[in-house]
């Protein structure tokens, strides 16, 4: 009798333990089923390994480190020197004017430098003194101070031609290069030498070959292309 009671207690205890375990296992799924839409139940699995803060290097710091590296290697000094040399070459020998050839046969023509006024010119009181569309010739107001000689200084024959014209005109001449180093001629000849940057003058005057000498004839400019 006593032995049967002990067996019954053990059976009841086992049944209780089994029910308790089933309840524990069922709780997470019930909690998930009761969660509102868009939410999910989660459980902590603990820390598996060391945790570090997410950090990215500063872009400015990366640039500074890179500059320090190329400076230490001497590369920065080489880059600076190359840049200085490039600027010096551009200053001493500007880009030659495109589209100009060497004069092989004489060509002469007269150029009218007149300009058309695009808008009215007024005095201090607002009165129109020059209406738009009026043509004005600068040579009617001021004369060409000195003849202009355009040459390509990369051609020794043109440089010798320029020396000859300078001697004939006793130095009264403005020398304008379309190629070559104007600084080199300035140092050698000890006189002012100019450069037709981007071909503004030769384009305006219609010059297609050099040497070209520009002189004044009345209210027009005479242009002689010859070597």
- Helix-helix angle 75-92:182-189, to 10 degrees: 70
What is the separation of C-alpha 203 from the centre of its chain, rounded to a whole number of angstroms? 26
Q: What was the pLDDT predicted at 49?
A: 62
For residue 109, give both structure tokens.
Answer: 């023509």
pLDDT at 209 over 50: yes
Q: pTM surpassing 0.85?
A: no
Q: Which residues pair with 108 in a beta bridge?
A: 224
Q: What was the pLDDT predicted at 75?
A: 78
Q: What was the pLDDT predicted at 93?
A: 72
The top-scoring range by mean pLDDT among 22-36, 85-99, 181-195 is 181-195
182: CB partners within 8 A, 6+ apart: 92, 94, 153, 193, 194, 195
Query: With pLDDT > 70 as the criterion, what percentage of the chain qualifies?
Result: 70
Q: What was the pLDDT predicted at 92?
A: 66
Q: What was the pLDDT predicted at 87?
A: 64
* pLDDT tens, residue by residue, 4-36: 545 455 455 455 544 444 444 444 444 444 444
Average pLDDT on 41-69 reads: 69
For residue 169, give both structure tokens.
Answer: 């005109």
Q: What was the pLDDT predicted at 52?
A: 59
What rounded mean pLDDT belongs to the chain? 81
182: how many CB neighbours lie within 10 A of its CB?
A: 21
pLDDT at 114 over 80: yes
Q: What was the pLDDT predicted at 5?
A: 47
Grade residue 155 by pLDDT with cuts at 50, 70 and 90: very high
Q: Tell which wins on pLDDT, 135 or 1.
A: 135
Grade residue 51 by pLDDT with cuts at 50, 70 and 90: low
């Amino acid at each position: 009798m006593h032995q049967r009671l002990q067996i019954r207690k053990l059976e009841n205890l086992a049944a209780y333990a089994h029910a308790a375990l089933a309840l524990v296992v069922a709780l997470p799924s019930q909690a998930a089923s009761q969660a509102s839409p868009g939410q999910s139940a989660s459980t902590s699995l603990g820390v598996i390994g060391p945790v570090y803060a997410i950090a990215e290097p500063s872009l400015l710091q990366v640039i500074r480190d890179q500059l320090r590296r190329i400076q230490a290697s001497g590369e920065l000094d080489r880059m600076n020197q190359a840049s200085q040399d490039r600027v010096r070459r551009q200053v001493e020998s500007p880009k030659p004017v495109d589209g100009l050839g060497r004069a092989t046969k004489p060509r002469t023509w007269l150029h009218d430098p007149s300009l058309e006024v695009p808008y009215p010119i007024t005095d201090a009181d607002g009165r129109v003194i020059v209406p738009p569309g009026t043509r004005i010739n600068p040579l009617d107001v001021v004369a060409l101070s000195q003849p202009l000689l355009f040459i390509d200084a990369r051609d020794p024959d043109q440089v010798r031609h320029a020396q000859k014209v300078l001697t004939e005109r006793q130095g009264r001449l403005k020398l304008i290069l379309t190629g070559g180093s104007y600084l080199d001629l300035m140092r050698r000849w000890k006189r002012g030498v100019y450069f037709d940057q981007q071909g503004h003058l030769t384009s305006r005057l219609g010059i297609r070959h050099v040497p070209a000498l520009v002189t004044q004839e009345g209210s027009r400019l005479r242009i002689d292309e010859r070597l």
